[in-house]
């Protein structure tokens, strides 16, 4: 069955229209990613650098030496409506959607041969730029990068990567090995490993700017109507010789971290949650289990962190014991990886998880091993300083 590929140019009211009209040398490419859109900008380097100071944008990430920048964007109601009305027509938008000089260019794949009445009568000067019939195989190149972050991979790299996903190689804990992937594709193990590592490397490099943008949004001082409503607090903790940094959202703990210096934008007052954390670090007597925490993590990591919250002060568990309690006895290493993502140090006491071989092991918070030892000693779980 053939479909029709349309390309329209129109005006879509919203901040992207205003920004593209305000900075005409820059082109804006958009990949919708649910409630947030990934926006990539190309143009003169000076104009791109100016974006970081623009009051409407707070999380620009420059990507290498190329004159390109990206940021996460919360679309306006009119911009979201563009995709909603497209879906009602039965069409699918082919990313990227482009903005330049206040105008929008969008490509749609539809099972219809004529634009809908909505497109023909839409305000904003809709212009049909292109219309062509296409067979599904001809759309492969268009739809190969639907989210705007997938890199260019060779055919074999795609096959190996997709087979690894199907077999559960990337599940936690893993349900398959590279050898399993190779056997399914009838290729040598070394060949499968080479293609898989190349694909992983390309994926990581391409998604790093998006990860950096999200991290900057999560930790930056809130500003503007679309910014996260985080309240930031920080107090110096003499027992750790570090600042304890607390982020609150909707009266829940969003993040607890340690730092060498006071973060910019932190409030001067002390939040009651922060005071309880400081008191526990000093005395080790408050379990902190009643403090509400927003765990913005994956399902397995959430299970690990919830189990770790049950460890009482003065006690420790090994990574293997946590894995056993979760019904995943071979997932000790995965437990360690999950604890490295702990967003709320001390409140989720990942410092109470230690290796079975002895010692206290690694710690993701500032100060590493020394900080973990101080916390465990204050809680009465250590009598003397062990080696990692």
Q: Which residues contact 238 (CB under 8 A, 6 or more apart)?
A: none
Torsion of CA 39, 37, 223, 69, to 10 degrees: -20
Candidate list 16, 326, 350, 353, residue with the active-site label:
350
d(CA 337, CA 185): 29
- When computed from its CA atoms, the radius of gyration of the chain, rounded to whole angstroms, is 25
CA distance 27 to 20: 7
- Is there a catalytic annotation at residue 41? no
**Residue of 90, 129, 82, 85 lying closest to 110 (CA atoms):** 90
Q: Torsion angle, CA of 204/205/210/213, rounded to 10 degrees?
A: 120
Question: Which residues are catalytically annotated?
Answer: 350
């Amino acid at each position: 069955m053939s479909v029709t590929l349309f390309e329209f140019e129109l005006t879509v009211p919203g901040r992207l229209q205003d920004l593209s009209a305000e900075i005409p040398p820059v082109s804006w490419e958009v990949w919708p990613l649910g409630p947030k859109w990934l926006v990539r900008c190309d143009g003169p380097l000076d104009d791109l650098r100016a974006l970081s100071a623009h009051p409407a944008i707070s999380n620009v990430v420059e990507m290498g030496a190329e004159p390109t920048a990206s940021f996460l964007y919360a679309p306006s109601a009119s911009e979201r409506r563009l995709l909603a009305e497209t879906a009602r027509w039965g069409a699918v938008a082919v990313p990227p959607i482009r903005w330049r000089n206040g105008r929008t260019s969008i490509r749609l794949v539809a099972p219809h041969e004529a634009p809908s009445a909505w497109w023909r009568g839409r305000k904003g000067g809709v212009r049909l730029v292109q219309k062509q019939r296409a067979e599904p195989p001809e759309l492969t190149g268009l739809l190969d990068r639907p989210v705007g972050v997938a890199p260019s991979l060779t055919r074999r790299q795609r096959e190996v990567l997709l087979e690894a996903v199907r077999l559960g190689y990337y599940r936690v804990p893993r349900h398959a090995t590279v050898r399993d992937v190779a056997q399914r594709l009838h290729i040598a193990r070394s060949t499968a490993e080479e293609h898989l590592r190349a694909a992983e490397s390309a994926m990581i490099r391409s998604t790093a700017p998006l990860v950096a943008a999200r991290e900057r949004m999560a930790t930056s001082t809130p500003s503007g109507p679309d910014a996260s409503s985080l309240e930031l607090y920080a107090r110096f903790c003499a027992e750790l010789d570090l600042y304890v940094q607390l982020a609150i959202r909707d009266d829940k703990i969003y993040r607890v971290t340690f730092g060498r210096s006071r973060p910019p934008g932190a409030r001067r007052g002390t939040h009651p949650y922060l005071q309880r954390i400081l008191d526990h670090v000093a005395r080790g007597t408050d379990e902190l289990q009643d403090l509400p925490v927003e765990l913005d993590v994956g399902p397995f990591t959430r299970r690990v962190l919830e189990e770790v919250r049950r460890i009482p002060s003065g006690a420790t568990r090994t990574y293997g014991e946590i894995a056993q309690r979760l019904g995943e006895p071979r997932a000790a290493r995965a437990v360690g990886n999950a604890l490295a993502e702990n967003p709320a140090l001390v409140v989720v006491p990942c410092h109470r998880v230690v290796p079975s071989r002895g010692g206290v092991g690694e710690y993701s918070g500032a100060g590493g091993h020394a900080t973990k030892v101080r916390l465990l000693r204050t809680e009465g779980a250590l009598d003397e300083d062990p080696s990692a």
